[in-house]
Amino acid sequence: MLTELLYDRKISVDLDGSASGRDEHGNIAIMPSPATVKVTVNPVTVVISGGDEDSQIIPSQERKVESPRQPSDLEQAIPILMGNNDVADAVRIYCKEQSWSNLYKVFEIIESDIGDKYITYGWATKKDAERFTRTANSRLAIGDDARHGHKKFAPPKNPMSLYEAKSLIRNILINWIRSKRNEP
């Protein structure tokens, strides 16, 4: 679910503290809590770590082990997802059917947390945010897919496509999750 957001790929992520799948480097990562097991395919390298114990690196085919790398976005996002119900809700809703209604819910969750700071941070422009909300709310703009059935909400001059809306909300959501890394 989280990997679908970060990498546009489906990889299983379980909220009980474990995750598995491929990160942006093509590695297969399996992270049961509290241990971490990392498997890199071709050539094969296995990294096992857990608790206070030292990591064991078992290289295959006498391959030199590279220095440690920065954790991937996926690896950094899992603790945030597990420790913040709003983030977990936003990601779960985003990964459902990406309808106007669901995208708007994700937008509302983020807005309830940070207000319109997503504009200040450069994650979206005020114009795009307004275009998104006006399109999502307007039956005149998108018909039956609109959040409202009445015609009170005038459509924007240039309604946003669902593709543009998905891209906008994905960008805001990813940046919001990344911003959570720096919170205590």
Rounded Cα–Cα distance for residues 71 and 158 (Å): 40
Encode the chain in three state secondary structure. Answer: CHHHHHHCCCCCEECCCEEEEECCCCCEEECCCCEEEEEECCCCEEEEEECCCCCEEEECCCCCCCCCCCCCHHHHHHHHHHHCHHHHHHHHHHCCCCCHHHHHHHHHHHHHHHCCHHHHCCCCCHHHHHHHHHHHHCHHHHHHHCCCCCCCCCCCCCCCCHHHHHHHHHHHHHHHHHHHHHCC
Q: Taking 90 as the threshold, does the pLDDT of residue 13 lie above it? A: no
User: What pLDDT does residue 151 have?
Assistant: 77
Per-residue pLDDT of 107-153, as tens digits, reads 999 999 999 999 999 999 999 999 999 899 888 887 777 777 777 87
Per-residue pLDDT of 46-67, as tens digits, reads 454 554 444 444 444 444 445 5
User: What pLDDT does residue 133 have?
Assistant: 92
